[in-house]
Amino acid sequence: MKKTWNPQYHLIQKERSGIRGVGRWVDLRKMKDWKNVMGVYVFATKNKIVKYVGYAGSSNLRTEAMSAHKVRKKTKGATKALYIQCTNKKFAKKLENNLKWLYCPINNKDIKVN
């Protein structure tokens, strides 16, 4: 089942999860305007079906998101991007894992060949 982005989840979790701020959905090509902060980034379709969730722990969110897009090709099927700024690495990693569990993004799955 494809899960659509639910902004209410993050509003409820904001105080408990160490979230400093949530960006707005932007086109993938506008990620270059993001700040290099610590947090989590999300790639999704225009209907906000989550395709990939990534983590940037050392205040390099823009760099990591651009790498995931251009080098690692994690934006397959995605047209939008969003970032969530966190207060520290521990919270960012925990949020990334929670989002992966919640949305089961297809581009996060590793394909293993025997």
Higher pLDDT, 73 or 18: 73
Q: Is 4 helix (H, G, I), strand (E, B) or coil?
A: strand
Q: Are strands 80-86 and 39-44 parallel, antiparallel or unpaired?
A: antiparallel
* Predicted local distance difference test score (pLDDT) of residue 114: 46
* Predicted local distance difference test score (pLDDT) of residue 22: 86
Structure tokens at 20: 């400093």
Does CATH place domain 18-107 in 3.30.1330.60? no
Furthest-apart CA atoms within the chain: distance in Å: 44
Q: How confident is the model at residue 58 (pLDDT cuts 50, 70, 90)?
A: confident
With a cut of 80, say whether residue 83 has pLDDT above it. Answer: yes
Burial class (CB in 10 A: 0-12, 13-18, 19+), 99: buried
In tens, the pLDDT along 44-56 reads: 999 999 999 999 9
pTM of the model: 0.87
Domain spans of the chain, in order of start: 18-107
Over residues 16-45, mean pLDDT? 90
